[in-house]
Amino acid sequence: MVTQDSGKAQIEVVNPVAEVRPKAVMPARRLDSLSGKRIALWWNTKSHGDVALSAAAEAIERRFENVTFTRFTRQLIHTPVPYDPVPESGADAVIGSTGD
């Protein structure tokens, strides 16, 4: 805000800062092994994120036996998503990639 009084300008500088409300989140249970597990590969369609997920899947397949993968793709948009199939996929773990 700029005001003038007696020919002098006054400038008020404000720094709007939102109140931080920390929320504790429990991390997901760590799997003992990926052998025999179902893994969801989630990509938000940003450039080369699919390449990173493929590389991760290949590395996991080399190290663990009987791993299966299901791929999910969803663009991140600024509207609510009415349905998310990943939780209902039966996956034991999810690997997400945003690309760039």
CATH of the domain at 40: 3.40.50
Residue 96 located in a structural domain? yes
38-70 pLDDT per residue, tens: 999 988 888 888 999 999 999 999 999 999 999
For the ranges 12-21, 40-49, 63-72, 83-92, which has the lowest average pLDDT?
Answer: 83-92
**From residue 37, how far is each of 15, 54, 55, 80 by CA, in Å?**
49, 17, 18, 30
In a domain, 81, yes or no: yes
Between 20-29, 62-71, 82-91, the lowest mean confidence (pLDDT) is in: 82-91
CA distance 50 to 34: 20
pLDDT-based confidence at residue 1 (cuts at 50, 70, 90): low
Residue 20 forms part of a structural domain: no
Reported as a pLDDT band with limits 50, 70 and 90, residue 20 is confident
Q: For the chain, how many structural domains are there in total?
A: 1
pTM score, whole prediction: 0.66
Residue 8 within any structural domain of the chain:
no
Name the DSSP letter for residue 88: G
- Give the pLDDT score at 77: 59
